[in-house]
Chains A and B, each alone.
Chain A
Amino acid sequence: MNKGTLIRCDALGVAYGAGFVLENVTMHIHRGEFVGIVGPSGSGKTSLLRAITGSLAAARGSVEVTRGTRIGYVPQVESVDWNFPITVGEVLAMTRTRRHWPRTSPSERAEMADVLDGLGLNGLEGRHIRELSGGQQQRVFVARAMFGKPDILILDEPTSGVDVRTRHEILHLLRDLHGKGSTILLTTHDLNGLASHLPRLVCLNREVIADGSPRETLIPEVLERTYGAPLHVLEHGGMPIVLDHDYRSSELLRDTERQMRSERETL
């Protein structure tokens, strides 16, 4: 697999007016990687994505997207107007603006069927987006991004506002896509449900606090610097689980910790 760099942020600074929301951010995304950006609200995650996608200019340093790189952007489901009169087929076709006419060509329809089939959405072309389940709705926007044949898929909070089942579906879908060679960059608040399953995490709070595997980044020291509050980390099945600092007051979590400890001892 070609390991070329697709996105290169070097000492990047981003500002709204006089106030910097990002400072000295250095992060390189290579082809074939699956990277998650984590951090608290207001840490600059969305600003970083906006700088990468070109909708926000760098005030300092630089952000470069390799020439010819096609970005497939998947917005937060919460930002989608679900009442807009649009079918699944129309959502996908809108990205192909080089073909101007409303009607899709036979080759487009075949490609569309392939993409939808690959994401488990076959036969839904004529359905309104609101008529789909939460998981299907998120998949439609991944499908739209994929239909544009992107070099990199960028997702803004893909599990925000979705239920547990949908979160699982999205995680499996993204793993599948990564397994098939897609490069993926996402932001997430979801440390346990999503971030801890990714191969590479960038912890962000105005600057890059840590960059590495979940085992390297989801550790109390890094998390405290990232979130500004003490967080505890347990390990279960080889995966880090992040707990709120006052978890000890919770009977349920105390039981969970006891159970995990006993499982570890048994192993």
Chain B
Amino acid sequence: MITIALDLLAPYDFAFFQRGMVAATLAGALCGVLGVFVVLRGMSYIGHGLSHAVFGGAAASAVMSINFFVGAGIWGVISGVLIGRIARQKIIGADAAIGIVTTASFAGGIALLNRYGQARKSIEAVLFGSVLGVSWADIAAIAAVSLAVGAIVLFAYRAFLFATFDPQVATVSGERVAAIEVILMVMLSVTILVTMRVIGTLLISALLVIPAATARMITNSFSRMLMLSPIIGAACCLVGMNLSYHLDTSAGATIILVAAAVFTATYLLAGRRARLRVASLHHL
């Protein structure tokens, strides 16, 4: 018994694992909070596309030797606001707009790294995440964004709910719905930016969607969904990180597999009504 416990705790002897663990758990909670809005606003594809767009910024900042957070941050926020604006104004089909902006950014990033960077290493680290590479600066960035997002969502809770549930009436009632959408897109871009080193660009959209969709099956209340989703996200990351060490698998991939298993178990155990709730989510 003691041997098993010692085996389970063995990874915690390593400083890199401790840092990765804290970063992943915070990232899971952060993605869980924003995932509620992503899922309920039918923005799953936007989340997916945005993570690809941020990759372009990350590559450009690496090549130009600009600070990662500054370069990719500016790129990501601009992409996020642009996507939100195109989607809202219906200049062209939202899906087409997201596809063009994000895949062009993604392709640009790969081309830049191929031409000027240490392509293979950099691309893999950004695409699939790297626990080994998590520094205390990364953790501080994730913690700062988590605090800011938590404070904004809590402080403007009712306005966010109103604009998400009923944007037309929210506008009539004097809410600045367009501003709320911009804030959401900025929060989403910054979240992807600070968590992509842990989870990876390709998998981050799953962490935005799966915990929130699981929480939706469990509850019919917005406030409870907003509480449950980050708890599920953090728990999946915590379990996934530990499993990845013992199974010797990629941390990002293991976290997403754990989240998918939790979703599947909830789907199977939940009643028919709960399954219908998740079936009704847009674009999932």
- Given B171, B225, B277, B281, which contacts A55 in the complex, CB threshold below 8 Å? B171
Q: Does B48 lie at the interface of the complex (its beta carbon under 8 Å from any beta carbon of A)?
A: no
With known contacts A94-B165, A148-B173, A84–B158 Cβ distance under 8 A = no
- Segment with Cβ contacts to B, from A8-16, A97-105, A116-124: A97-105
- Given A79, A86, A96, which contacts B222 in the complex, CB threshold below 8 Å? A86
1/0 contact trace for A52-65 toward B, CB 8 Å? 01110000000000
Please report the C-alpha to C-alpha distance between residue A79 and residue B156 in the assembled complex, in whole angstroms: 24
- Given B154, B166, B169, which contacts A102 in the complex, CB threshold below 8 Å? B154
Please report the C-alpha to C-alpha distance between residue A95 and residue B170 in the assembled complex, in whole angstroms: 8
Query: How many residue pairs between the two chains, A and B, have CB atoms under 8 Å in the bound complex?
Result: 82
Tell whether, in the assembled complex, residue B222 and residue A85 are in contact, meaning their CB atoms are under 8 Å apart.
yes
Please report the C-alpha to C-alpha distance between residue A130 and residue B222 in the assembled complex, in whole angstroms: 14
Tell whether, in the assembled complex, residue A100 and residue B168 are in contact, meaning their CB atoms are under 8 Å apart.
no
* Least Cβ–Cβ distance between B84 and chain A, in angstroms: 18
* Least Cβ–Cβ distance between B8 and chain A, in angstroms: 36
Tell whether, in the assembled complex, residue B154 and residue A90 are in contact, meaning their CB atoms are under 8 Å apart.
no
- Given B169, B175, B220, B222, which contacts A75 in the complex, CB threshold below 8 Å? B169
Tell whether, in the assembled complex, residue A102 and residue B158 are in contact, meaning their CB atoms are under 8 Å apart.
yes
**Chain B residues whose C-beta falls within 8 Å of the C-beta of A95 in the assembled complex:** 158, 162, 173
Chain B residue, CB-CB nearest to A91: B165
**Chain A residues whose C-beta falls within 8 Å of the C-beta of B156 in the assembled complex:** 97, 100
**Chain A residues whose C-beta falls within 8 Å of the C-beta of B65 in the assembled complex:** none
Main secondary structure of the interface of A (DSSP, over half): loop
Which chain B residues numbered 236 to 268 have a C-beta less than 8 Å away from chain A?
A: none
- Given A80, A87, A100, which contacts B220 in the complex, CB threshold below 8 Å? A87
Please report the C-alpha to C-alpha distance between residue A27 and residue B159 in the assembled complex, in whole angstroms: 32
Chain B residue, CB-CB nearest to A131: B220
1/0 contact trace for B165-200 toward A, CB 8 Å? 110110111010000000000000000000000000
* Least Cβ–Cβ distance between A187 and chain B, in angstroms: 14
Tell whether, in the assembled complex, residue B223 and residue A90 are in contact, meaning their CB atoms are under 8 Å apart.
yes
Q: Does B221 lie at the interface of the complex (its beta carbon under 8 Å from any beta carbon of A)?
A: yes
Please report the C-alpha to C-alpha distance between residue A65 and residue B175 in the assembled complex, in whole angstroms: 17
Tell whether, in the assembled complex, residue B157 and residue A53 are in contact, meaning their CB atoms are under 8 Å apart.
no
Please report the C-alpha to C-alpha distance between residue A55 and residue B173 in the assembled complex, in whole angstroms: 11
Tell whether, in the assembled complex, residue B277 and residue A90 are in contact, meaning their CB atoms are under 8 Å apart.
no
Q: Does A249 lie at the interface of the complex (its beta carbon under 8 Å from any beta carbon of B)?
A: no
Tell whether, in the assembled complex, residue B166 and residue A75 are in contact, meaning their CB atoms are under 8 Å apart.
yes
Please report the C-alpha to C-alpha distance between residue A82 and residue B73 in the assembled complex, in whole angstroms: 36
A93-B158, A128-B221 known; 17 new pairs, CB 8 Å cut-off, are: A71-B173, A79-B168, A80-B166, A81-B165, A84-B222, A85-B219, A85-B220, A85-B277, A86-B161, A87-B220, A87-B221, A90-B223, A94-B161, A97-B156, A99-B158, A102-B157, A102-B226
